Chain A
Amino acid sequence: MTTTLQNLPAMLALAVLVERLGGEVLISQADIDKIAYTRLLEGWAENGSAVLRVEHKSKEVQ
């Protein structure tokens, strides 16, 4: 079974599953570029946690 990833990172979990089942996962450079993301700090929540927005690099380039 061969899977080409089109929609990262949600597909990553599926890729791991496919590989564990004995399948083959092909990841292109474009896919890898999509994995990379940037965290932006929006501020702090009342409970003292950081409010972060995660932005894929691909979106940042657009």
Chain B
Amino acid sequence: MKAVLRLRREPFYRRDAFEKGLQRAGFTLVDKAAPSGPRDWLVIWNRKRGADEQEADLWEQRGGTVIVAENGYLAKTEKTHYAISVHGHNGSGWFPVGEEDRFSALGFELKPQRLFNYKEIVIREQRGIGSVLMASPPNWARKTLGTLQPKLKMPFRIAPHPGDKNKGAIDAANLKNAAALVTWGSAMGVRALVEGVPVFYAAPHWICEEGAQRLEFFPTPGFSEGARAAALHRMSHGQWHFDEIATGEPFARILAGSK
């Protein structure tokens, strides 16, 4: 088994965790290779459309496995958890979902579902990064606002993308008065589910789609406690702390599940 690791050198602890984890799972790290089967991996960041996606497509066409890493979906401390899945990020790929509770360890209390007394619909701006399938269209938030506003008399607000720092706190502040969140497929939606805010998503796949509603059904959210819990459980098996990654466990689980 060999693995080509395409993650940047920085941050060092992230690269180090992936290197150690892959080696502990039995991979030999190489700078470049052609796959000779599904146990040869190409490990990339996000599968962005363009050169990254072309390389991933080619790797898969030749019978190899593409592992996609990204920032985690939900964590108390940023840049500690990383999403890891086969083929695609944010629900567009596959990862094994075990039975053990990984969500509780993240330290988030599930708030009751919001029912009344919240008076704005928040639309989260998206940056348009991702594969051809998963990247949001240009100006998605503004176009969505134009579509939804005539359907419902309600204050709508576009929440700008928070950037790469302090995302959790900014997202939480943006959700303070939200009756619902409309998102392409952002991690803010995961936080919204935790806060009890109904989520409508528009991407073809989303990591917590089981606990949310497709945008075309707006404004009927159709939420349930069971669906929310199942969605967050699944999400928690799709992201790993860098210390866990260094043990090789997420990679071993993928290997076991791919047999």
Contacts and interface: CB of A to CB of B under 8 A. Distances in A.
Nearest to B223: A48
- Interface class of chain A by DSSP: strand
B152 interface: yes
A35 B220 CA distance: 23
Given A38-B153, A39-B151, A44-B113, A50 B118 contact: no
B122 to A, nearest CB: 13
A9 to B, nearest CB: 18
A40 B153 contact: yes
Q: How large is the interface on B (under 10, 10 to 19, 20 to 34, 35 or more residues)?
A: 10 to 19
B179 A41 contact: yes
B224 interface: yes
Interface centre among A38, A41, A46 (most CB of B within 10 A): A41
B115 interface: yes
Contacts of A29: none
B75 to A, nearest CB: 28
A50 B116 CA distance: 10
B219 A50 contact: yes
A7 interface: no
Nearest to A46: B115
A44 B221 contact: yes
B106 interface: no
Contact of A48 (B118, B179, B221): B221
A4 B87 CA distance: 63
B117 interface: yes
A39 B153 contact: yes
A32 interface: no
Interface string A4-44: 00000000000000000000000000000000001111111
Nearest 3 pairs between A and B by C-beta?
A43-B116, A48-B222, A48-B223
Given A41-B154, A43-B115, A55-B153, 16 more contacts: A39-B152, A40-B152, A40-B153, A41-B121, A41-B152, A41-B179, A42-B116, A43-B118, A43-B179, A44-B198, A44-B223, A48-B198, A48-B221, A50-B220, A51-B116, A52-B219
23 contacts: A38-B153, A39-B151, A39-B153, A41-B152, A41-B179, A43-B115, A43-B116, A43-B117, A43-B118, A43-B179, A44-B114, A44-B115, A44-B116, A44-B179, A44-B198, A44-B223, A48-B198, A48-B220, A48-B221, A48-B222, A50-B220, A50-B221, A51-B116
